[in-house]
């Protein structure tokens, strides 16, 4: 009738486990791929970048060196030269370090060995640089000497100009004076005239020579300062020496003449001029030698600068080549990285798609299986319910059919018991007929219970609600157990609320509930025990009937058992006390049929409390009529007059 | 204690300020241009020598000297060149007043300090004039001669005055100063008409020879410069009449007039100092930011046999 669900919890776990494993696997693979990419990037950073940086450093430094070299030769201050050279040397060192680094990397990026590539140029450049520094310092020294001598030439030129004029004027003046004196001599001596005139002419000539050769020498010296051509120096020096010897030849004549005696300043000037000529014309320390040294230094520097620059440019070119090579290698590396990244991306996407598809498939399969299981469960439930209904229907009809013969049994056994038609004779018959009667009754009540339960389960139980007084109910049900209690020596106490509220319930069913409570209480209470039945409204508005005994009590398991249908059947209670256990389940159902709650509290050896709690909307204030019955289920009415005290009825001792 | 500390602090402050001003000037390069009219005469050579010597005392001073060689046009060109060279100051000893006044004014207007030396120009649009006062020198010479011939009121004698350039102001001033002292003396007489000696000794010789030829007794010869006085002495000496005559000159150049005085050729000479050294001192003073006078008059000095030797000694000239 019911299908066994084909999907177990285990297979679901397996499905989800599989999805998990797939996702985990995918994650691991993605991590692996990303790690591999990271390795590629690491490789690029660790290997390519330092190499590129080194190469760039080489290029930068070689360019700087090439640019700095001509500047070195132009400095005027030896300190600047030294600083510039040490800067270039530092750059060369940096470059060498970069080259060493580049060579040590032994990377796949550069096929060549850059260090060996540059070794020759480096050494050459270094030694050339030293030459350059030396030559520059030589040039600066020579230039300083030339500059000092140039200042002397300048001063001398001024002196020559002053003196030349004074020489002309002085000789002319003296000649005129001599002529004046001769002209006024009374007896003219021809010899003396000749001597005077000769002397005048000689000193004029000497002065003229001093003046003109002085100007010539100044001109030669300025030409020396102006020229940049080493070849032009010897002719200039020759001219200077020629003028100087002419000047020197004229000097004794001048110093012996009257003018030198008459004009000491002029004489001093001529003397100074002669001295300066000697200084400036000195073959070792004079202007010609100094200027020649300077020009030679300049020429040498020009050559050195060209050589150095060529060497530096050669290095720069090679460095450029290395950078280009590195550039290509790095671009290739980048391309490879890009390719790797693309591949990894595609693999991850494909794998993800695969895992998604598999996951969806598993999930779809699982959902389908779960759906089947749900349907199967629903079908099983429906089947069970139908079976139950069938059972109830069966029981109801069977019970009804049973009751008819049972009435006959009970009726006839009662007739026999009372010996209505004459004595039974043997006493044993009388006892048998009594047993038949009691058994029939018991069977009847059992069948009634079964019928009631069947009715409830079949949904055919209808409550005959009406207003009733709880007190009256209590009193009426006590009669059912009174006799038995008295027989067993059990005291029954009644506790009622006053004024008691009214209840809107099915009175017969409530009585049935209370009889059941009391029957059980009496049944499970030992001799000398007591039973208390109470009826009162709870503080929450509900109405409570409770039956408390001092009986044997029940464990929690026993309570659960007692609430099952036929639960008493295999318990110790059944063995000890009569009954088939339909009482409590039926009672529970009847209370629930009223919308109430059944509470059973018990502990072994400490007695039992059974409570039937009716909802507040079934409670009516005392004396209230049957009005408002219709609204009973529509709204929950709170009792308007709640009792301030709970007054116990005068305990009626029934035993 | 407190006062001592304050005093010490003030002293330090003062010292710092002193040194703060001094070295700044000493380190700054100064270029001074000098336009000399000519160097024909010994006095001009002395002028240049003294100017150079004073400039040489300062390491930071560069001197640019231009010699106009007796040409007005060249002197104008020289000053233009110095102005174009952006020198810190220009000194000019103008050959003549009128034609050189515009260039002096031009320099002055351009903001470059210009010092006019020895001979003045036509206006005072320049920074400073430095020169001797020829009238005062003439007066000093006149008083010396007055005393030589007997003193005021009693003086008696005949004088030959040999003029420098008669058209030049120094000659005129030397004459006026001299005459102002002596012309009122009744016992004094000038025996020749004013004659132009053009500052030259051969002219001095000629004028003196002509004067001697007049046959009159001569007591004093007053020449406007030493070379003319020396020429006059030679003229007298050549005719054996030098002994009774006192020769008075002006300029007092050590190697020339002073030595002649020391040798007894000249009776006396009156210093016409060159403005060379003073011009450098005044220029540096101005460039230091200090104020200077508009005119500086160089003092004169009578050089006689009493002080001639010491002057020669001072100049390192063998007597």
The string of pLDDT tens digits covering residues A261-284 is 878 788 888 999 999 989 998 988
Comparing CA positions, the residue from A646, A645, A640, A595 lying closest to residue A618 is: A595
A133-180 per-position pLDDT tens digit: 888 888 888 888 888 888 888 888 888 888 888 888 888 888 888 888
Per the rule left: phi > 0, alpha: psi between -120 and 50, beta: everything else, A489 is left
**Per-residue model confidence (pLDDT) at position B35:** 95
Edge-first strand listing for the sheet containing B295-298: B61-67, B30-36, B89-93, B114-117, B128-132, B295-298
Kindly determine whether residue B255 and residue A184, on different chains, have CB atoms separated by under 8 Å: no
Q: Which own/partner contact pairs does A640-649 have at CB distance under 8 Å and 24+ positions apart?
A: A642/A537, A643/A497, A643/A498, A643/A499, A643/A501, A643/A536, A643/A537, A646/A495, A646/A497, A646/A536, A647/A496, A647/A497, A647/A498, A648/A494, A648/A495, A648/A496, A649/A471, A649/A494, A649/A495, A649/A496, A649/A498
Examine the pLDDT at A115 and tell me if it is beyond 60: no
Q: What percent of chain B has pLDDT over 70?
A: 91
Q: How confident is the model at residue B12 (pLDDT cuts 50, 70, 90)?
A: very low
**Is A167 an 8 Å CB contact of chain B?**
no
Q: How confident is the model at residue A104 (pLDDT cuts 50, 70, 90)?
A: low
Spatial distance between the Cα atoms of B139 and B250, rounded to a whole number of angstroms = 12
Kindly determine whether residue A176 and residue B209, on different chains, have CB atoms separated by under 8 Å: no
Comparing CA positions, the residue from A462, A437, A450, A445 lying closest to residue A398 is: A450
Residue A152 Cα, gap to closest chain B Cα (Å): 13
**Per-residue model confidence (pLDDT) at position A110:** 56
Angle between helices A233-256 and A264-281 (to 10 degrees): 150
As a whole number, mean pLDDT of residues B194-210 equals 90
**Per-residue model confidence (pLDDT) at position B7:** 46
Q: Are A91 and A315 in contact (CB under 8 A)?
A: no
Q: Is B61 helix (H, G, I), strand (E, B) or coil?
A: strand
Q: How much is the mean pLDDT over chain B? A: 88
Q: What percent of chain B has pLDDT over 90?
A: 70
Helix, strand, coil percentages (3-state) for chain A, rounded to 5, are: 75, 5, 20
Examine the pLDDT at B249 and tell me if it is beyond 90: yes
Stretch among A533-547, A637-651, B291-305 having the lowest mean pLDDT: A637-651
Kindly determine whether residue B202 and residue A162, on different chains, have CB atoms separated by under 8 Å: no
Spatial distance between the Cα atoms of A124 and A130, rounded to a whole number of angstroms = 10
Q: Are B296 and B278 in contact (CB under 8 A)?
A: yes
Paired residues of B221 in beta bridges: B160, B247
Q: What are phi and psi of B206, to 5 degrees?
A: -65, -45
Stretch among A442-446, B45-49, B59-63, B298-302 having the lowest mean pLDDT: A442-446
Looking at beta carbons, which residues of chain B come within 8 Å of A265?
Answer: 42, 45-46, 49, 253, 255
> How many alpha carbons fall within 13 Å on the CB side of residue B233?
21
Spatial distance between the Cα atoms of A5 and A373, rounded to a whole number of angstroms = 5
Which of B39, B41, B209 minimises the CB distance to A184? B209
Q: What six digits make up the tokens of A346?
A: 């595609």
Q: How confident is the model at residue A473 (pLDDT cuts 50, 70, 90)?
A: confident
Q: Is A494 helix (H, G, I), strand (E, B) or coil?
A: strand
Q: Are A458 and A396 in contact (CB under 8 A)?
A: yes
Q: What six digits make up the tokens of A508?
A: 């017969």
Examine the pLDDT at A629 and tell me if it is beyond 60: no
Q: What are phi and psi of B183, to 5 degrees?
A: -70, -25
Over the Cα atoms of chain A, what is R_g? 72
**Per-residue model confidence (pLDDT) at position B34:** 95
Interface test with A, best of B32, B33, B45 (most A CBs within 10 A): B45
**Is B74 an 8 Å CB contact of chain A?**
no
Spatial distance between the Cα atoms of B308 and B252, rounded to a whole number of angstroms = 9
**Per-residue model confidence (pLDDT) at position A628:** 39
B296-318 per-position pLDDT tens digit: 999 999 999 999 999 999 888 77
Q: Positive or negative CA dihedral for A484, A490, A491, A492?
A: negative
Spatial distance between the Cα atoms of A511 and A478, rounded to a whole number of angstroms = 10
Spatial distance between the Cα atoms of A407 and A555, rounded to a whole number of angstroms = 38
As a whole number, mean pLDDT of residues B165-179 equals 90
Tally C-beta pairs within 8 A across A and B: 77
Examine the pLDDT at A189 and tell me if it is beyond 60: yes
Q: Which own/partner contact pairs does B10-18 have at CB distance under 8 Å and 24+ positions apart?
A: none
Spatial distance between the Cα atoms of A271 and A263, rounded to a whole number of angstroms = 12
Q: How confident is the model at residue B295 (pLDDT cuts 50, 70, 90)?
A: very high
Spatial distance between the Cα atoms of A209 and A201, rounded to a whole number of angstroms = 12
Q: How confident is the model at residue B173 (pLDDT cuts 50, 70, 90)?
A: very high
Q: How confident is the model at residue A645 (pLDDT cuts 50, 70, 90)?
A: very low
Q: How confident is the model at residue A649 (pLDDT cuts 50, 70, 90)?
A: very low
Q: How much is the mean pLDDT over chain A? A: 79
Spatial distance between the Cα atoms of A426 and A93, rounded to a whole number of angstroms = 144
Comparing CA positions, the residue from A458, A438, A344 lying closest to residue A395 is: A458
Closest chain B residue to A165, measured at CA: B40
Q: What six digits make up the tokens of B88?
A: 């810190």
β-strand pairing of A491-496 with A530-537 = parallel
**Per-residue model confidence (pLDDT) at position B25:** 52
Q: Is B12 helix (H, G, I), strand (E, B) or coil?
A: helix
Q: What six digits make up the tokens of A403?
A: 């009751």
CA A1 to chain centre: 59
Spatial distance between the Cα atoms of A215 and A164, rounded to a whole number of angstroms = 8
A336-362 per-position pLDDT tens digit: 888 888 888 888 888 888 888 988 888
Examine the pLDDT at A602 and tell me if it is beyond 90: no
Examine the pLDDT at A308 and tell me if it is beyond 50: yes
Selected residue with higher pLDDT from A85 and A378: A378
CA A103 to chain centre: 40
Examine the pLDDT at A109 and tell me if it is beyond 60: no
Spatial distance between the Cα atoms of A561 and A557, rounded to a whole number of angstroms = 6
Residue A177 Cα, gap to closest chain B Cα (Å): 4
**Per-residue model confidence (pLDDT) at position A121:** 66
Q: What six digits make up the tokens of A522?
A: 């009496």
Selected residue with higher pLDDT from A7 and A453: A453
Spatial distance between the Cα atoms of A2 and B76, rounded to a whole number of angstroms = 140
Kindly give the residue spans of alpha helices, DSSP state H, lying in A184-263: 190-226, 233-256, 258-262
A435-463 per-position pLDDT tens digit: 888 888 878 777 777 777 777 777 777 88
Interface test with B, best of A147, A154, A162, A186 (most B CBs within 10 A): A162
Residue B318 Cα, gap to closest chain A Cα (Å): 10
**Per-residue model confidence (pLDDT) at position B33:** 95
As a whole number, mean pLDDT of residues B40-56 equals 89
Looking at beta carbons, which residues of chain B come within 8 Å of A166?
Answer: 39-42, 44-45
B105-147 per-position pLDDT tens digit: 999 999 999 999 998 898 999 999 999 999 999 999 999 999 9
Spatial distance between the Cα atoms of A263 and A261, rounded to a whole number of angstroms = 6
**Per-residue model confidence (pLDDT) at position A600:** 86
Q: Are A84 and A54 in contact (CB under 8 A)?
A: no
Examine the pLDDT at A636 and tell me if it is beyond 80: no
Looking at beta carbons, which residues of chain B come within 8 Å of A173?
Answer: 200-202, 227
User: Model pTM?
Assistant: 0.55
Over the Cα atoms of chain B, what is R_g? 23
Closest chain B residue to A260, measured at CA: B255
**Per-residue model confidence (pLDDT) at position A114:** 57
* H/E stretch holding A486: helix A470-488
Spatial distance between the Cα atoms of A41 and A44, rounded to a whole number of angstroms = 5
Stretch among A327-331, A579-583, B74-78, B88-92 having the lowest mean pLDDT: A579-583
Looking at beta carbons, which residues of chain A come within 8 Å of B65?
Answer: 158, 162
Q: Are B165 and B174 in contact (CB under 8 A)?
A: no
A20-38 per-position pLDDT tens digit: 888 888 878 778 877 877 7
**Is B42 an 8 Å CB contact of chain A?**
yes
Max alpha carbon distance in chain A (Å)? 238
Q: What are phi and psi of A538, to 5 degrees?
A: -80, 160
* H/E stretch holding A608: strand A607-614
Which of B67, B205, B235 minimises the CB distance to A161? B67
Spatial distance between the Cα atoms of A336 and A346, rounded to a whole number of angstroms = 15
**Per-residue model confidence (pLDDT) at position A631:** 37
Q: What six digits make up the tokens of A251?
A: 């000097």
Residue A599's alpha-carbon distances to A513, A587, A591, A605, in angstroms, are: 12, 11, 10, 19
**Per-residue model confidence (pLDDT) at position A88:** 83
Q: What are phi and psi of B71, to 5 degrees?
A: -115, 125
As a whole number, mean pLDDT of residues A469-492 equals 84
Which of A166, A173, A266 minimises the CB distance to B201? A173
Our CA dihedral for A164, A165, A170, A171, rounded to 10 degrees, sits at 60
* H/E stretch holding A10: helix A9-43
β-strand pairing of B128-132 with B295-298 = parallel
Spatial distance between the Cα atoms of B104 and B114, rounded to a whole number of angstroms = 7
**Per-residue model confidence (pLDDT) at position A55:** 75
């Amino acid at each position: 009738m019911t299908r066994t669900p084909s999907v177990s919890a285990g297979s679901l776990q397996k499905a989800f486990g599989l999805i998990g494993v797939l996702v985990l696997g995918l994650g691991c693979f993605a991590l692996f791929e990303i790690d591999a990419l990271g390795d590629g990037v690491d490789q690029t950073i660790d290997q390519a970048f330092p190499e590129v940086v080194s190469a760039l450093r080489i290029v930068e430094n070689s360019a700087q060196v090439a640019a700095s070299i001509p500047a070195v030769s132009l400095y005027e201050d030896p300190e600047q030269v030294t600083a510039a050279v040490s800067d270039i040397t530092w750059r060369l060192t940096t470059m060498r370090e970069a080259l060493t680094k580049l060579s040590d990397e032994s990377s796949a990026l550069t096929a060549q060995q850059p260090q060996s590539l540059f070794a020759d140029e480096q050494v050459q450049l270094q030694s050339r640089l030293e030459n350059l520094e030396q030559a520059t310092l030589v040039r600066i020294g020579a230039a300083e000497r030339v500059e000092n001598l140039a200042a002397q030439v300048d001063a001398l030129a001024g002196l020559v100009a002053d003196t030349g004029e004074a020489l002309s004027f002085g000789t002319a003046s003296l000649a005129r004076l001599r002529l004046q004196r001769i002209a006024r001599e009374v007896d003219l001596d021809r010899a003396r005239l000749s001597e005077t005139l000769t002397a005048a002419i000689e000193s004029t000539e000497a002065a003229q020579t001093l003046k003109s050769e002085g100007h010539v020498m100044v001109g030669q010296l300025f030409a020396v300062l102006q020229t940049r051509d080493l070849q032009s120096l010897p002719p200039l020096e020759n001219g200077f020496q020629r003028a100087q010897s002419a000047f020197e030849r004229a000097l004794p004549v001048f110093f012996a003449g009257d003018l030198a005696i008459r004009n000491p300043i002029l004489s001093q000037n001529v003397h100074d001029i002669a001295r300066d000529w000697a200084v400036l014309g000195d073959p070792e320390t004079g202007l010609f030698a100094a200027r020649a040294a300077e020009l030679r230094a300049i020429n040498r520097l020009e050559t050195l600068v060209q050589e150095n620059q060529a060497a530096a440019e050669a290095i720069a070119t090679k460095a450029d080549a290395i950078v280009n090579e590195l550039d290509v290698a790095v671009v290739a590396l980048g391309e490879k990285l890009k390719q790797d990244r693309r591949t990894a991306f595609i693999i991850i996407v494909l794998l993800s798609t695969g895992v998604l598809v598999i996951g969806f498939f598993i999930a779809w399969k699982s959902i389908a299986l779960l759906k089947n299981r749900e349907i199967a469960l629903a079908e099983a439930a429906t089947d069970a319910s139908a079976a139950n209904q069938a059972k109830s229907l069966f029981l109801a009809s069977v019970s009804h059919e049973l009751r008819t013969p049972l009435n006959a049994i009970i009726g006839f056994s009662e007739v026999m018991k009372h010996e209505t038609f004459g004595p039974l004779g043997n006493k044993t018959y009388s006892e048998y007929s009594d047993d038949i009667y009691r058994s029939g009754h018991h069977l009847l009540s059992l069948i009634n219970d079964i019928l009631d339960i069947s009715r409830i389960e079949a949904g055919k139980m209808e409550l005959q609600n009406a207003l009733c007084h709880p007190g009256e109910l209590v009193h009426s049900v006590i009669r059912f157990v009174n006799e038995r209690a008295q027989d067993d020596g059990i005291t029954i106490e009644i506790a009622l609320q006053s004024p008691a509220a009214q209840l809107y319930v099915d009175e017969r069913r409530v009585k049935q509930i209370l009889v059941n409570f009391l029957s059980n209480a009496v049944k499970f209470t030992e001799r000398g025990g007591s039973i208390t039945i109470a009826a009162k409204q709870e503080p929450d508005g509900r109405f409570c009937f409770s039956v408390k005994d001092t009986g044997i009590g029940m464990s929690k398991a026993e309570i659960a058992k007692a609430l099952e249908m036929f639960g008493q059947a295999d318990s110790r209670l059944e063995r000890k006390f009569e009954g088939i256990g339909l009482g409590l389940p039926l009672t529970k159902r009847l209370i629930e049929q009223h919308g109430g709650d059944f509470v059973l509290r018990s502990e072994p050896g400490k007695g039992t409390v059974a409570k039937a709690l009716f909802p507040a909307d079934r409670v009516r204030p005392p004396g209230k009529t049957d009005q408002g019955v219709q609204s009973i289920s529509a709204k929950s009415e709170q009792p308007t007059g709640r009792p301030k005290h709970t007054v116990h009825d005068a305990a009626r001792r029934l035993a | 204690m407190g006062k001592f500390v304050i005093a010490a602090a003030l002293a330090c402050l003062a010292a710092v300020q002193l040194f703060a001003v001094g070295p700044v000037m000493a380190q700054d390069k100064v270029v001074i241009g000098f336009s000399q009219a000519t160097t024909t005469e010994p006095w001009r050579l002395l002028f240049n020598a003294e100017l150079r010597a004073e400039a040489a005392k300062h390491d930071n001073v560069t001197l640019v000297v231009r010699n106009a060689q007796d040409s007005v046009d060249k002197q104008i060109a020289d000053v233009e060149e110095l102005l174009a060279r952006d020198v810190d100051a220009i000194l000019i000893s103008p050959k003549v007043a009128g034609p050189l006044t515009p260039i002096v004014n031009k320099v002055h207007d351009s903001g470059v300090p210009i010092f006019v030396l020895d001979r003045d120009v036509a206006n005072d649009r320049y920074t400073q004039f430095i020169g001797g006062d020829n009238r005062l020198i003439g007066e000093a010479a006149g008083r010396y001669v007055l005393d030589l011939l007997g003193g005021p009121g009693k003086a008696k004698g005949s004088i030959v005055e040999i003029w420098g350039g008669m058209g030049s102001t120094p000659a005129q001033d030397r004459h006026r100063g001299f005459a102002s002292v002596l012309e009122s003396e009744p016992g004094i007489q000038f025996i020749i008409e004013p004659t132009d000696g053009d500052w030259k000794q051969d002219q001095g010789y000629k004028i003196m020879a002509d004067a001697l030829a007049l046959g009159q007794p001569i007591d004093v010869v007053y020449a406007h410069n030493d070379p003319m006085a020396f020429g006059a002495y030679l003229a007298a000496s050549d005719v054996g009449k030098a002994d009774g005559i006192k020769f008075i000159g002006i300029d007092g150049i050590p190697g020339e007039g002073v030595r002649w005085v020391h040798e007894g050729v000249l009776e006396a000479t009156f210093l016409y100092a060159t403005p060379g050294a003073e011009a450098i001192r005044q220029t540096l003073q101005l460039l230091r930011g200090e104020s200077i006078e508009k005119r500086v008059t160089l003092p004169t000095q009578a050089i006689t046999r009493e002080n001639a030797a010491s002057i020669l000694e001072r100049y390192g000239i063998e007597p």
